[in-house]
Amino acid sequence: MPTFDIATIVKVFVPAVLSFTIGIGITPLLTHYLYKHTMWKKRAGKTGSEGESTVLFNKLHESREVGIPRLGGVVIWFSAATTIALIFLFAQVFPIPAIMKLDFLSRSQTWIPLAVLLLGAGIGLVDDFFEILGNGDHKAGGLSLRKRLMLVGLIGLLTGFWFYAKLDVSAISIPFNGLLPVGPYLIPLFALVAIAIYSGGIIDGIDGLAGGVFAIIFAAYGMIAFFQNQIDLAAFCAVILGGILAFLWFNIPPARFYMSETGSMALTLSLTVVAFLTDLPGGGEGLLLLPIIAFPLVITSLSAIIQLGSKRYRHKKVFLIAPLHHHFEALGWPPHKVTMRYWIIGVIFAIIGIIFALVG
């Protein structure tokens, strides 16, 4: 359990406030650039996984597909990374105890999640530019889903190898039942989890939905890390939360911009690392709590998989539109109602996950 002193609490909350402030501050400049250079899809609509026209989806979203920029995820990772860099530099330039205690850039807890955050942001940024320009290896522009999954899987393999070889992690924690040794299989397991969580990034489809869901998830893991005395990791989650809240300020209906790949890939990859860090390295069960805490992402991904399988093997759809949040839109739910109810569900499952973490 952590020591609940003022310095520890400040170390977690100050970065969140600073990240939020930076995010709010850079948004007018980013917005001006995005609108000036028309950084959005040039043609409304999308096609399905087998090249078919998605008539119902295009009808619901034709007014939102064009005219609203992508790249809003820049607010999240830029404000988070800038906050981490500023605090680190201040601690080096002014090595007084009060400032040095704020520095949470550490090899054991924050180097890896920060690295994958920026790596995912960079890959997503390239994909977004291809999408905007309409140049890519499929009709909609951008990298194909297969290539994005391959890149995410490769990053997962490399990060899993780091956990296994450098951090000496060779088991996962089972709630109420000790450890499950997995040995070198941790490496492919890491890649599979990264791909699974990344696939839930398709939740970025309604104003405010993805931002709110990710904010809840990172807040929950920040609390878990705090109670496991992983204070640097808790501060990292808090700084991500601050960036997400700054993004969300401008993404609630009507959205000023969308998170897009540069945000969703960065967040899902760093979330995977956070889940593994709050597992055996933190003395908790962070990995197996992930399907609970990230339930909205999981159910979103599952709905798309179920729809695809049903169409391929049964030649009929289970949902009016997949993923699930668009199904609710097709039923007649206003977008803001879908968003609010997802937020509520997200909070409930995050609380359940925190309870399991504390009593497990």
Q: Measuring CA to CA, how many Å separate 307 from each of 164, 235, 264, 338?
A: 36, 38, 22, 19
Per-residue pLDDT, 67: 83
Per-residue pLDDT, 57: 58
Task: Read off the tokens for 350.
Answer: 């995050």
Q: Confirm if 195 and 272 have CB atoms less than 8 A apart.
A: no
**Greatest C-alpha distance within the chain:** 67
Per-residue pLDDT, 110: 96
- Assign 141 a pLDDT band (cuts: 50, 70, 90): low
Of the candidate ranges 62-71, 232-241, 347-356, the one whose mean pLDDT is the lowest: 62-71
Q: Mean pLDDT, to the nearest integer, of 46-54? A: 52
Task: Give which of 350, 306, 257, 314 is closest to 32, Cα–Cα.
Answer: 257
Per-residue pLDDT, 351: 97
User: How is 305-335 classified by DSSP, letter by letter?
Assistant: HHHHHHHHHTSS-SSSSSSHHHHHHHTT--H
Higher pLDDT residue, 63 or 339? Answer: 339
3-state secondary structure of 143: coil
E strand residue ranges, the chain: 171-174, 178-181
Question: Looking at the predicted structure, is the pLDDT value of residue 7 above 90?
Answer: no
Average pLDDT, the chain: 90
CB-CB neighbours of 309 under 10 Å: 11
Per-residue pLDDT, 98: 84
pLDDT, tens digit, 9 for 90 and up, residues 75-91 = 999 999 999 999 999 99
- Assign 104 a pLDDT band (cuts: 50, 70, 90): very high
Domain parsing of the chain, residue ranges: 6-359
CA 207 centroid distance within chain? 16
Question: Looking at the predicted structure, is the pLDDT value of residue 115 above 70?
Answer: yes
* CB within 8 Å of 39: residues ≥ 6 apart: 33, 69, 70, 71, 132
- Helix or strand run (H / E) with residue 55: helix 55-65
d(CA 260, CA 73) in angstroms, rounded, equals 6
d(CA 129, CA 127) in angstroms, rounded, equals 5
**Percentage of residues in the chain with pLDDT exceeding 90?**
75
pLDDT, tens digit, 9 for 90 and up, residues 171-181 = 999 988 889 99
pLDDT, tens digit, 9 for 90 and up, residues 160-200 = 999 999 999 999 999 888 899 999 999 999 999 999 999 99
